[in-house]
Chain A
Amino acid sequence: MIRRKIEENFFRILMVLATVIVAGSFFLIVGTIFYKGVPFMNLDMITKIPGGGFYIGKEGGVLNAIVGSMYIAGGATVLGLLISVPVAIYINMYLGGKSALANSLRIAFDVLFGIPSIVYGAFGFLIMVYFGIKASLLGGIVAVTLLVIPILVRTLDEVIRTVPHELRDASLSLGATRWEMSKVILRQIRPGIFTAILLSFGRAIGDVASVLFTAGFSDNIPTSLHQPAATLPLAIFFQLGSPVEEVQGRAYASALILTIVVLIITILSSMLSKRFSKNKIQ
């Protein structure tokens, strides 16, 4: 009996410890980034593009990378949404949502979600070589779109599944076609669509491996789809590799910017989805 009590307590302590490590690792990471990044943070970082001699420690900021990342993440999310909303509707409304085909499609998108971004990047690069496109904003957007489609489809799919069946039955019984029923459902899941957008944007803005080959890098803000674009994660990566202390410091500050942006996005999306589940019709 005593031995069992000891075992129980031993593992309880072990579990608490493990939980502290897992949850604590978040604070450790964010804490490290803040601790190192804040001293190098200044207004120039987010309002200026790299000036002459930026990479040997002279003045400038990473506005080019911030804007480039926004363009790519925004473009990819819009493009991804145009593709994935119809796909999610098709799976749930036209295939019934519970058929074997619908379930295999879900598995297929889960598998696509698991494909690493470096493979999408390499594949995007192949397509670009094939069509003769140089590393550019366009290439980056296409590669990142491939990356976010599975996220968007699966999130939208989950949201659509929470819509009560009565709503569909009601609109169908009034003589609506499946498309008209889908429009009703789309209105119902609007907050869920925002969650999906935020999730996809968050993933897109932080990914490096997919834009490494495809978007290139530039010190200027791109003005057309065919110009190369800098991205924030790549800027961090490049600056961290520099031997100059000033430039490394900018890498920490850039990391701080990216962390804050991503944290805001994640918190917003979880708040939205919580609100969404509250308003759910039971």
Chain B
Amino acid sequence: MQRFRLLKDKILSKLMLVLTLASVSVVLVVGIGLYYKSIPVLDKLSWWTLLSSSDWKPMKGLFGFFPFIMGTLWVTAIAIIIALPLCLLTSFYITEYAPSRIRKILVPFVNLLSGIPPVIFGVWGVLFIIPLIQNHIAPHFVEFSTGYSVLAGGIVLAVMIFPLIVSIVCEVLNTIPRELKDASLSLGATKWETIKKVSFRKAKPGIIAATVLAISRAFGETIAVLMVCGNNAVSPHSVFDPGYPLPALIANNYGEMLSIPMYESALMFAALLLFIIIFLFNIISRVILARLERRLAI
């Protein structure tokens, strides 16, 4: 009996180890699989050409990803510029100012927002943001805009990353020792001065980590951006120009990709590109956050 129980424990332990390793190694397998599939296009064109050329003519075998990379960068930059200040102020308000009664109401809404699926954000973008830009914002700056622009993509993405940034920054702010803030306040600093000179400085690594995570989330977001960005394969020059981010390119063209040679390989290269960037960004921010957590546990 004793031996049987020990044996059962041992077998199950090995089984779980296998499952753990298998599910973690998905990262590796995804990377290798995508790389393997992009070899044909990498054989023909160099990394540099693929990344810096603007020629997108799949029928002629020309794959320049520059416009798509620029589209992604524009949309992400706009989203971060909008979301970061708003989220920082919100997090400071929730952790430092809000009475616990209001906090208890606020936090669930942030959670609810994070549960809304991307496609709903997309529908909202089409119904609300697009007309807003077309009729009320764009006319002040440019002669004509359909509303489908990198600005629309940026705004929708900004709302999508609100909950991510707010929840991480709030968590980081809550870990700052009370004594530090009390010391600053007792020296006569106002609450805002304490936030600016104590909390913000202390929370800086966490804020950076949250931002990097938000950037990588924005990079990979597909459907919501696809629905509002206009999808024009030209590098945008202003916020009212349409853009064509990388994930949208992959999602839009999978249907025809099997009929044109190299096309599949080129799209898999786009997926590989996304994967590499997001993988690196995620590792950086997760390591920062894990370190913060550990420092706190001691």
Contacts and interface: CB of A to CB of B under 8 A. Distances in A.
A122 interface: yes
A87 B24 CA distance: 10
Interface stretch (A10-18, A46-54, A185-193, A221-229): A10-18
B81 to A, nearest CB: 14
B282 A87 contact: no
A213 B254 contact: yes
Main secondary structure on B side of the interface with A: helix
Interface in A242-269: 251-252, 255, 258-259, 262-263, 265-267
A30 to B, nearest CB: 8
A232 B37 CA distance: 30
B23 A33 contact: no
A270 B167 CA distance: 15
A218 to B, nearest CB: 15
Nearest to B216: A114
Contacts of A96: none
A114 B190 contact: no
Interface in B81-112: 85-87, 89-90, 92-94, 97-98, 106, 108-112
Nearest to B12: A179
Interface string B163-184: 0001000000000000000000
Contacts of A77: none
A177 B9 contact: yes
Contacts of B185: none
B290 interface: yes
B87 A119 contact: no
B95 to A, nearest CB: 11
Interface residues of B, number: 85
B223 interface: yes
Contacts, number: 254
Contact of A206 (B5, B19, B112, B116): B116
A23 to B, nearest CB: 5
Contacts of B5: 177, 180
A90 B119 contact: no
Contacts of A122: 34, 250, 267-268, 271
Contacts of B34: 119, 122-123, 126
B123 interface: yes
A23 B110 contact: yes
Interface stretch (B47-55, B124-132, B143-151): B124-132
A179 B9 CA distance: 5
Interface in B126-166: 126-128, 159, 162, 166
Given A122-B267, A122-B271, A262-B115, A22 B290 contact: no
13 contacts: A8-B191, A11-B192, A15-B90, A18-B93, A19-B94, A90-B16, A119-B278, A122-B267, A126-B37, A126-B268, A205-B117, A207-B117, A236-B123
Interface of A: 4-5, 7-8, 11-12, 14-19, 21-23, 25-26, 28-30, 32-33, 36, 83-84, 86-87, 89-91, 94, 103, 105-112, 114-123, 125-127, 146, 149, 153, 177-180, 202, 205-209, 212-213, 233, 236-237, 240, 251-252, 255, 258-259, 262-263, 265-267, 270
Given A121-B251, A153-B23, 15 more contacts: A8-B193, A19-B89, A22-B90, A28-B124, A28-B128, A29-B113, A33-B123, A86-B12, A86-B16, A114-B286, A177-B9, A180-B9, A209-B222, A209-B251, A255-B120
